[in-house]
Amino acid sequence: DAGVTQSPTHLIKTRGQQVTLRCSPKSGHDTVSWYQQALGQGPQFIFQYYEEEERQRGNFPDRFSGHQFPNYSSELNVNALLLGDSALYLCASSLVGQGTGYTFGSGTRLTVV
Amino acid sequence: DAKTTQPPSMDCAEGRAANLPCNHSTISGNEYVYWYRQIHSQGPQYIIHGLKNNETNEMASLIITEDRKSSTLILPHATLRDTAVYYCIVRPQYGNKLVFGAGTILRVKS
């Protein structure tokens, strides 16, 4: 049973560019959340998607946007990249109404130069 | 979600019990205590959660004080592979997001 799969694992972008990160949730899960983790800090919640809609959003600018597809997979898009966007981006999946924990992927390491 | 306070780091000898404390004095009645850990270069991993009763699973035990203002995660026989950052999170059981603090860096030493 595959867990959460994220792609790519690493990438390097230039300031001002746009990036798309992808996430496939764990089998049976229908909710996807995205987190940003700067070096040495805990993950910070970006947003959550359920039924192809953004359900909750953290304190991130509109440059961060997302999408969820009918097969529950999700994308995170970041426009006009800044150096400060360099971080590990984590995807977590869960089943709505299930009180137990989220399953996290290993993340995408984004470096903005 | 209530805030939590954890020590920044702890050491533990391999084979001994690791006891990781967490203070959550502002916890409300519908909030659960969750523990996750993050091993280097991996995503966070769910360990255990509880409301007011002590809980145990194959990974760890969770002890919550009677007033629910603090809790302790216990790894009964720590191994080198338990070296990680451990996060204590307080949230409603069906809440949407996880609010991570800085966590506790646990170093298990041989």
pLDDT digits (tens, 9 = 90+) for A40-74: 899 999 999 999 999 999 999 999 999 999 999 99
3-state SS, one letter per residue, for chain A: CCCCEEECCEEEECCCCCEEEEEECCCCCCEEEEEEECCCCCCEEEEEEECCEEEEECCCCCCEEEEECCCCCEEEEECCCCHHHCEEEEEEEECCCCCCCCEECCCEEEEEC
A to B CB pairs, distance under 8 Å? 56
Across chain B, mean pLDDT equals 93
Cα–Cα distances in angstroms (integers) from residue B49 to residues A39, A65, B93, in the given order: 26, 31, 9
Q: In a 3-state reduction of DSSP, which class is residue B18?
A: strand
Q: Is A3 on the interface with B (CB under 8 A)?
A: no
Q: Give A83 or B100, the one with higher predicted confidence.
A: A83
Q: For residues B22-27, give the mean pLDDT.
A: 94
pLDDT of residue B41: 81
Across chain A, mean pLDDT equals 94
Nearest CA in chain B to A96: B94
pLDDT of residue B95: 67
pLDDT of residue B2: 63
pLDDT of residue A100: 67
State the DSSP code for B17.
Answer: -
Percentage of chain B surpassing pLDDT 90? 78
Q: Is the pLDDT of residue A90 over 80?
A: yes
pLDDT of residue A95: 87
Q: For residues B84-106, give the mean pLDDT.
A: 88
Cross-sheet strand order for the sheet of A19-24: A5-7, A19-24, A74-78, A64-68
Q: Do B96 and A33 touch (CB under 8 A)?
A: yes
pLDDT of residue A1: 56
**Which of B49, B85, B96 is the closest to A101 by Cβ?**
B49
Q: Do B94 and A100 touch (CB under 8 A)?
A: no
Q: Give B92 or B48, the one with higher predicted confidence.
A: B48
pLDDT digits (tens, 9 = 90+) for A7-35: 999 999 999 999 999 999 999 999 999 99
Q: For residues B93-110, give the mean pLDDT.
A: 88
Under the banding of pLDDT at 50, 70 and 90, the label for residue B103 is very high
- Pick among A6, A21, A36, A45 to test the B interface (most B CBs inside 10 A): A45
Tell me the C-alpha distance between A28 and A18, whole Å.
Answer: 31
